[in-house]
Structures are given as structure tokens and as C-alpha cells.
Structure 1
Amino acid sequence: MIEVSLPNVKFEETDESVRLIWRETLYADFDKKELQRILRRKYRVKPEIIVRDGRLFIDTDYPGVEKYLAIYIQNNLGALLRNRYTGRKVLYIHEGMDVPLLGYNAFGLIDRGTNLIQVRGVSGCNLSCVFCSVDEGPYSRTRKLDYVVDIDYLMKWFDDVARIKGKGLEAHLDGQGEPLIYPFRVELVQALREHPNVSVISMQSNGTLLNDKLVEELAEAGLDRVNLSIHSLDPDKAKMLMGMKSYDLEHVLEMAEALVNAGIDVLIAPVIIFGVNDDEAEAFIEFARKIGAGKRWPALGFQNYVPYKFGRNPTIAKVVPFKEFYAWLRALEEKTGMRPLVLKPSHFGMEKREFIPLVFRPGEVVKAEVVLPGRIEGEMLAKARNRLIEVIGTKAEVGDRIKVRIVRTRHGIYIGTEV
């Protein structure tokens, strides 16, 4: 019996398939009969394929069989990859694809004219929050695929951006979903920590995928702060808001304390839906105090619920004007003594920096090559002038060359329509 060994992989077995789980976050299903067939065709043997304790074995002593099967799996992995948390097909973006990492909102890098750079290595989420602004998670009705960006390619583009933006940068790991489903999460933090232009590394997270081992790894890699999305301290209400019956509030609260104990600062970041969880504001403040959150930065970042065109907008949500929301925060400051609750960029060391120059202007018509499908129906991604353009309302296919009218360029996110 010979073991088929692949790095950062474990195996599971279903009735007809061998499931490969790569770096805990991605998977691919290989038909067991097909694996047996390719071995029979190549070696004229009929070995049994066995999965045991997360490892893959071939019941034969024929030399070279395990290497041949390992190569076959690696060569076919890309086409079969799926997100372990959403179940959606994954497009793995690497240098050989020559896909720009500036211009699109779901992956890559985003510059909003400050010393903070948003770093998005992955799309997708393990939760389905009822107020999600981008309709993410396992129960999404609009998102049809996910992206993962190779870490070396991501860092290559980050280096180019950092040279333009200068020193004293904050690299903020966020995304349309949960950054911890990125398969190279620890390695990314380590690479950013070693970058000479990066001073602060922060991350947005719902905390559910954290465990003691991962917390220690992130701390050792150099993560400075986690903006932790906790929206209720009541277990049942939290499950409702997070959209998952499996949501374990107690675990997330334990991980919040573990982060602080490991030397990673925590900012508790609830989305406040008035009439639903605004009455928990003081409890959030007390919890933040209890665990010692906010050592270098504010301990809390209350967010006002805002409906979005392509998000989930629950009927339970009451929309409150921001003027009223900020008055509510100031009243909380006076009542609890917790300051600041009305947050400013200066609280995070954010400062204005010159934007990465825009390469398109609104109304301009450009020739572009369609390089990737988009995340929603009728959306494709095209490239021109080394930038991505989100082309909406199109029936174009990958490989097509089309004319695109640019309709939006805000913060270097380019949106266009086919002419």
C-alpha cells in the first residue's frame, strides 16, 4: 500500500468521490472510479483507492503509481476547486493569467486616497448575515462564484502599489466576505510584516474561524489588529443576525479574548440596527472593557445599518439618518465614559495620500479584453491599460474583445457598460 502525499492537503471520502481539502478552505471532488480508471489505463493494474485518517492510499506496490496520481490530481485541481464555506466554484488567479489586481471590488487591492490599502485575497463568506451589503455567504442568491488570488501575485501588486503610496502604510485585510477563508492568511500577514512600507496590519473578521492555534500563528506573523464583527451578545439574536443556526457566539467571544491575550488589538465592530440590537450598546462597551480591547486603537466601532442595492435588506431593519446615529453615539460617550465612539480617520493614524492615478475617465469608451466571469448574472471582468473593469449588463464571454463605456471610476473601481 502506497500513500499519495500532497502538501497542505487532507482527504475525505464520500460514496463515489475522494474529496481533497486544501489549506482548510478549498476543496475538490475527484471521482473515485475515474482515478482508478487512469491508473488501470497507465499501469494495467486495478488498485483500490483508500482514504484513512485524512490520508490517501493506493492498494498496490507498483512503483511510481503514487507520483503519477499526485501529478494527475495537481494538474486537474484548478478546474475542480470550490470554496469550502460557500460551495461555489473558485477561480484561482495567478501571475500566468495576467489579470490586473486594481480596478475591481471583490479581489485585489483598493486605494481610497489614504495610507490604508485594502488587501483582498479572497471572496466568499462562511456566514450569511441578514443585513449583508453584498449578499454573501452560503445562502447567497446572487453570487455565483468566488476568487482566490495567489499570494505571490498579490504581494507583487502590493509592492507596486506601496512604491507609489510611500511608507507608513496600513495593510487592511478585508473583502466581500470573510478574509480568514483565504488559504494563505498567515503567510500573507507574514509577507506584509516584512514589507518595508507597511507599519500596521489589520483585518476585518467575524471571528468564527479563529482557534487558539490560528490566533498564535497570526500573532507570530505580525497581525496588529482585528476589527471583530459581533452584532449581538444574545446567542439567539446573534444566530438570527448572522444568518446561521450554527453560529457559536461563545466561541467568538472566547477568541476575542484570545486575540487580546496574544497581543493582537481588538476593535469590536457591531452593525447597529435600531429596534433590534441598539439596546445592547452598553453591553458591547462592557465586554470591550472586560477583555482589554482598544489598547492602541479605539475599542469599538459601531456601524450604522445602511441598505444597499445588491445587499440583503431585512424588513426588521430601521434606517436611521447618520446625524441621528452620531447623536446616539455622543450620548453613549457621555453616559458610559467610553471614548471615542464617534470615530475619525486620525484615531487610526490614517492620513490623506495621493491616489494611484486613474487610467480612465467617466464617459470614455475603451477597447477591452474580457478575462474573467463576474460574480453576478450579467457581469464580466475585462482588462485594459493594466486595470480591471467590471462590465455590467453584458452577454460577452471570456476572450471577447469589446468596447466599454466607463460609467464610474470612484476610488479606482472601474465600472462600465458594453457599447
Structure 2
Amino acid sequence: MKMKTIRLSFHYLEFEDKADLLRVNLFRYFYIDLSKRLFKSIGSFKAGGHSIAFTTDLDKGSLEGQFNSVIAGSISGLRNSLNNRRAVYVHRNSGIPLIGSVSFSIIDRNTSLIEIKPVTGCNLNCIYCSVGEGANSELTDFVVEPEYIIECFKRLVEFKRQDNSKLMIEAHIGCQGEPLLYSALPELVAGIKGAGCTHLASDRVGGKGIGRRADNNSDSGININKRNKNENNITVSIDTNGTLLTEASVDKLVQAGMDRFNISINALEPGLAREIAGCCYNLDHVKEIAKYIAKKAELLIAPVLIPSINECEMIKIVEFAKSLSKYTKDKKPPVVGIQNFLEYRTGRNPVRQWGWNRFYRFIAELEEQTGVKLRMSESDFSITKTRPLPKPFRKGSTITARVVCPGRHKGETICAASDRVITVRRAGSAKQGQEIKVKITGDKHNVFYGENLEHARFARISRFS
């Protein structure tokens, strides 16, 4: 059969030649290293950028099938390039549902605000981080296919609007880490906002939904090049530390449909700002980006008040926000939403947290000093109660669940059942694909925790033997 050159191009995949290895990058910050020998049955190849070209006697369909098979068979080796931690790719054919976890996916707390978590991992190492994120953390990372999120989000919006078809929904992108590490963020924002989402397509590499083809005749259905009017009564907001934002990326996100940026600025004294960030931190850049955002979109400055560390910085941050009023369209200062540092089992806890009474006394005093409203409530963001999403199981119930991937923290496993994921904190030696009996130990807001009953029984026997 005659040899020919066939080029495969992708939107979410990038290729790097590394001697005997081919590095395949997914969403820029995640990668798998593959031996070039894996492709020898396909033909000689040259890879770079978003495409790979094979010289082969195969037809295009057969070539795609073999290439897809290699990638799909290796995706379990996915790593985060920032910290070299193992990572899990969650996509429509992964068998991992998008409701049930606080680490990734979609969270519905029975209000008009829907939380979206497309990625984990962070470029900072904040001393107060509630999940212990940072370069040296022993965590598993997750990255989610944007089309999968959009499909699930749309179904959830339809459910919430059964009682009110014009219900205003806020999609809030808030990750365990920094969402700007998610290279598909503009596509995700545009899809959530509702621009051109009638037809969503994704490459199904090996039936695994990896990469999305970028051929000229291939359309993802997600148009990020046109600012979306809010015809669907959906607003989009994001939590970010601001360090990775540029004027160009702000413009792109606003064009895609981003309505509000919540930027965490925890101190205006450079040395203290670096200390809190736990690493190199360019405060001047973050301040300049805040000014730029104030011109382009809604801005909220969201410091975390860490007792005995940065109380004195709060008044400076409020005054900084007031100084930005000259940049905003309505000439009003951005909202300042001061957060109370809270201690968490999984977090870094450099100090003891304040009780809420003490925190709100501090806020009241600061309001009096600055003349700025600082105590926020759900009504300030037009958040309303909605019908609760049904729970397929309840705390205390016993279910059969399938192990689908490692959990976020050491010793955790993610299981799936009834279109939900369950974080099993003591899974024992359960293997991926195995079915286990799980006792549900937590079910608040359709976020599920459980324990492996067989492992718990074995642990009790071992303890008393």
C-alpha cells in the first residue's frame, strides 16, 4: 500500500519531542511521557505544537484508532507539570460522575449559585490554604473536560428552573487551587454563559474524550470570540489569586462572558504579601491587574483575615479598593469581601481561628473607620434558595460502589454509584474497577463521604486480635 503523510491536529493536546520520549501535554499543565516505540506499528512521525504527522500506509480512520488507543492506554500516567503529582483526567467517558466531590466537579448547595471546579493545583503556597495546596503537597490533582462540565451544568440549570424559567443563575468557578492553570478556561466560560453551546463536540481518543480535534471542519460549538449578552440569565464569576492574569487574558475571559473577578489580595506590604503567599509573589502585578479588571468587568477584592498576621492590612486593602473607583464604569469602588480564616483538617493552620462574633465585631469597626459596607450576605449577590437536588442515598445507608480513581488526599479513593462520586477515606486495598460495599458517612449538599465496610471490619478484627 502506498505510504502517505497524515496530520492529526488537536485543540487541547500539545506535543514535545524528548529524545526517546514523546511528551503529550493536556491543557498545557498536565502531561504524559510516552516511549516512541509505542507508535512504531503506526509509522514514522513528526510531532510539535498541537499536531502530529505520521508517514504511514494506514487510512486516516485506522491511524486515528491506533493513535487514540495508545493515548487512552497511557492516560493513567498523567502528571501535573507544576509539581509532578499524579493527576486524573475526568471526562464524559471516564466513568467518573461530576457531582459528589468537593475537589473537582460541580457543587449545588440548593441555591442559585452553582460551584464549578474544573482543575486542582496552585502556583502559590499560601500559609493558610484550607486544602494544603502548593508545590510540596502530597495530593492527587484533577482536570475536567470542559464540555463535560458544560453538559452537566446545563442539566442542573434546567432542573433548578422548573419552578422559575427566568431564575438568575451564578456559575462560580472556585477551585482547590488556581483556576488560571486551566487552559480551557475561556471555552468553559463561554460554554457556561451559553454562547454557541447547541452542539458540543469533543475528540473521543480511544473513546475517552481526550484532546478535541482541531481540524478546520471540526467545531467545538464553543465560541469565545464574541462577548455574550446575558440572554440566559447566567452570570459567571471566578476566584483567583491574580498572579497569572494578564491584560490579554482578562480581555479574553471578559469576551467569553466572565462577569466578575474575585481577587485575593491579603496584604499591601510586599514582604508580608510574600510571606502569606509562601513563595515569590508579585504584588505590584496583582495591583495593576486589579486596576485593569476594574475598567473591564466587576471586581471583588477578597482578602483572608489571618489573626495576628494581617489584621492591620485590612484597612489598607479597603482604601486600595476605594482608590479604584476612578477606573470603574459606575465610579463606585469594588466590593471588598473580607473572609474569616478557618481551620480545616486538610489545611495549613498557622494560627487559631477567630470566632464569628469577634470577626463580625472587627468588620463593624472597620466599616465605621472606612465608611464602606463590608459585611456581605447572599442577598448582596442575588443568591436565592432553589429546589434541592435529590440525593440517591443518605448518610448511614450502605451501597455498592465502583472504585474509579484515587482520591485527592493520601488514603482516599473515589468511588461511583447512581451518577454520584463518593470520597472513601479508608478504602484499604480496593483496586480501580472493583466494586465495594460503602457506608455513607456524609451527604450534605450531595457531597458524599463513605467508608469501605470490608476494610473497616478487617481493621476492627486486627485491632482486637
Deviation, structure 1 residue 406: 1.0
Distance in structure 2 (CA, Å) of the matches to 1:119 and 1:38: 36
For 2:279, the aligned partner's letter is: M
Question: In 2, Cα distance between the equivalents of 1:39 and 1:400?
Answer: 31
Gaps of 5+ in 1: none
Partner residue in 1 for 2:192: 192
- Measured in 1, the distance between the counterparts of 2:115 and 2:91 equals 19
SS at match of 2:177: coil
How far 1:42 moved relative to its partner? Answer: 6.0
1:264 and 2:267 aligned: no
Deviation readout 1:352-406 (Å, 9 max, x if unpaired): 1121112212211111111221112221111222211111111112111111111
CA contact (8 A) 1:368 1:402 kept: yes
Deviations 1:191-219 (A, max 9, x none): 11117654211011111111122111001
Instruction: Note the C-alpha offset of 1:10.
Output: 4.9
Match of 1:362 in 2: 395
**Alignment TM-score, normalising by the size of structure 1:** 0.86
Q: How many residues align?
A: 400
Give the AA of the match of 1:304: N
CA distance in 1, matches of 2:28, 2:322: 33
SS at match of 2:385: coil
Provide the residue aligned with 2:104 in structure 1.
107
Shift of 1:130: 1.0
CA distance in 2 between counterparts of 1:42 and 1:11 reads 17
In 2: Cα distance, 1:165 partner to 1:274 partner: 39
Hey, what's the Cα distance between the residues in 2 that align with 1:63 and 1:370?
39
- C-alpha distance 346-96 of structure 1, shift in aligned 2 (>3 A): same
Pair 1:374 & 2:407 matched: yes
Which residue pairs with 1:25 in the alignment? Answer: 29
Could you tell me which amino acid in structure 2 is paired with residue 127 of structure 1? L
What is the DSSP-based 3-state SS (H/G/I as helix, E as strand, rest coil) of the residue aligned with 2:134? Answer: coil
Mapped partners of 2:437, 2:320: distance in 1:
54
The residue that corresponds to 1:84 in the other structure is 81
Classify 1:207/1:351 alpha carbon distance in 2 versus 1 (closer, same or farther; 3 Å).
same
1:13-412 counterparts in 2 under 5 A? 17-30=21-34, 34-35=35-36, 37=37, 71=67, 74=71, 78-141=75-138, 143=139, 145-166=140-161, 167-194=167-194, 197-245=232-280, 247-261=281-295, 263-292=296-325, 299-314=335-350, 317-339=351-373, 341-395=374-428, 396-412=430-446
Contact kept? 1:171, 1:198, Cα under 8 Å: no
- 1:95 match: secondary structure: coil
| Segment drifting more, 187-196 vs 342-351 | 187-196
- Describe the SS at the equivalent of 2:120: coil
Is contact 2:79–2:85 with CA below 8 Å preserved after alignment? Answer: yes
Query: Whole-Å Cα distance in 1 between the matches of residues 158 and 111 of structure 2?
Result: 14
Asked if the contact 2:132/2:347 (under 8 Å) is kept, the reply is yes
Hey, what's the Cα distance between the residues in 2 that align with 1:414 and 1:50?
Answer: 42
Aligned AA for 1:176?
A: Q
SS, match of residue 164 in structure 1: helix
Q: Is this contact kept in 2: 1:82–1:89, CA < 8 A?
A: yes
Match of 2:199 in 1: none
CA displacement at 1:16 relative to structure 2: 6.2
Alignment partner, residue 460 of structure 2: none
Contact 2:15 2:52 in 1 (8 A): no
Cα deviation code 1:29-87 (max 9, x no counterpart): 34xxx42x4676765x7x9x797xx69999xx96679x979937755663443223332
Match of 2:10 in 1: 7
Instruction: Please report how far the alpha carbon of residue 272 of structure 1 lies from its aligned counterpart in structure 2 after TM superposition.
Output: 0.8
Q: In the aligned structure 2, how far is the partner of 1:213 from the partner of 1:80?
A: 33
List per-residue Cα deviations over 1:4-29 (Å, max 9, x = no partner).
77434555566765544444332333
Q: 1:370 touches 1:398 (CA, 8 Å); kept in 2?
A: yes
Q: Deviations over 1:117-149 (max 9, x none)?
A: 0011112222121111111121213x1x21111
Closer, same or farther: CA 368–11 of 1 in aligned 2, 3 Å: closer
Which range is displaced more, 67-76 or 351-360?
Answer: 67-76
Please, which runs of 5 or more residues in structure 2 have no aligned partner?
A: 162-166, 196-230, 454-465
Counterpart of 1:193, as a letter, is: K
Q: Deviations over 1:287-320 (max 9, x none)?
A: 1122238869961111111111111112xx2422
Q: Deviations over 1:130-184 (max 9, x none)?
A: 111111121213x1x2111111111111111111112311000012111222231
**Are the equivalent residues in 1 in contact too, given 2:263–2:299 (CA < 8 A)?**
yes
List per-residue Cα deviations over 1:226-284 (Å, max 9, x = no partner): 11111111222112111113x222211121122222x2211111111122111011210
CA shift in 2, pair 1:170/1:147, >3 Å = same
Identical positions, percent = 34
SS of equivalent residue, structure 2 residue 436: strand
Secondary structure, in 3 states, of the residue corresponding to 2:336?
coil
CA contact (8 A) 1:282 1:336 kept: yes
1: distance between equivalents of 2:259 and 2:171?
10
CA pair 15-131 structure 1, distance change in 2 beyond 3 A: farther
Distance 1:39 1:95, change over 3 A: closer
> C-alpha separation between the residues in 1 aligned to 2:233 and 2:117?
16
TM-score (norm 2): 0.78
SS at match of 2:143: strand
- Return closer, same or farther for 1:255/1:99 CA change in 2, 3 Å cut-off: same
Letter in 2 for 1:146: D
**Given that residues 100 and 387 in structure 1 are in contact (C-alpha distance below 8 angstroms), is that contact kept between their aligned partners in structure 2?**
yes
Give yes or no for contact 2:193–2:232 (8 Å, CA) kept in 1. Answer: no
Change in 2 beyond 3 A, CA 1:164/1:55: closer
Structure 2: distance between partners of 1:120 and 1:50: 31
